Amino acid sequence: MKTADLITALAQDRQLAPRPARLLARTLPFAVLAAAVLLLATAGPRADLLQVLAAPRFLFKFLVTLSLAVPALGLLPSLATPLPRGGAWRGALWLAPVLLLAGVLLELRALPDARWLPAAVGHNALWCLAMVPMLATVPLAASLYCLRQAAPADPARAGAVAGLASGALAATVYALHCTDDSPLFVAIWYSIGVLFISAAGAWLAARVARW
């Protein structure tokens, strides 16, 4: 095929995919909804949900997960383009680790030494370790699909951030069920789940989102 002929064909093709941000906005809410339904169908919310709604430790979990989800989601559309301009979102990714560290330090001061270990190990650490990645699969699949439709300059990096966003969203949903509210528990077990999904996102995106 001659290049001139190719250009003729390209000019005739008017199909224009939605911009990355718009595609994400259209698909991710459904993926998060699916994760929520999945949690309700399997584990259900914690029994004392209504009593703990105002508890500082319970609220802190959402503060941490959302402070990771929001910057990661803000950064993602830009990373999905050949010419990323992350801007302020990039720095905002540090917000969650800093908050988490502050929470851990406050908790260590608030609790007597003898209660550190029980608080960190919690009641269902393994369950948490399994549930966060499981709930993250649908959001991760949705965001990888969006990356595939786009053109990420660095697919692995974009996939890692997609994994952070998916993991953080999954952790937000899981926090409705989890009865371990200590920042010590969150810092260990939630982090492992989210980082695992981030690594999986990077690995997968490097394969499916090349263009």
Partner 1 sequence: MRRALAGDEAVYRRLLAAVADRLRAQVRARLARWGASDVQAEDVVQETLLAIHLKRHTWNRVERFEPWLAAVARNKLIDAVRRRGRRVELPLEEVEASLTDEARPDDSHALDVPKLLSHLNERAREIVRLVSVEGEDVRTVARRLQMSEVNVRVNLHRSLKTLAALYRKDGI
CA distance 3 to 32: 44
- Within 29-68, which residues bind partner 1 (CB under 8 A)? none
In our burial notation (b when 16+ CB lie closer than 10 A, e otherwise), range 61-86 reads beebbbbbbbbbbbbbbbbbbeebeb
Minimum distance, C-beta of residue 163 to partner 1, in the bound complex (Å)? 20
9 binds partner 1 (CB under 8 A): yes
Q: Which is nearer to partner 1, 27 or 172 (CB)?
A: 27
Q: Cα(105)–Cα(193) distance, rounded to whole angstroms?
A: 21
16 touching partner 1, by CB under 8 A: yes
CA 187 to chain centre: 15
Which pair of structure tokens corresponds to residue 35? Answer: 């994760």
Binding track over 89-128 against partner 1, x by CB under 8 A: ----------------------------------------
Q: Is 12 in the site for partner 1 (CB under 8 A)?
A: yes
Chain positions contacting partner 1, by CB under 8 A: 1-20, 80-83, 85, 150-151, 153, 210-211
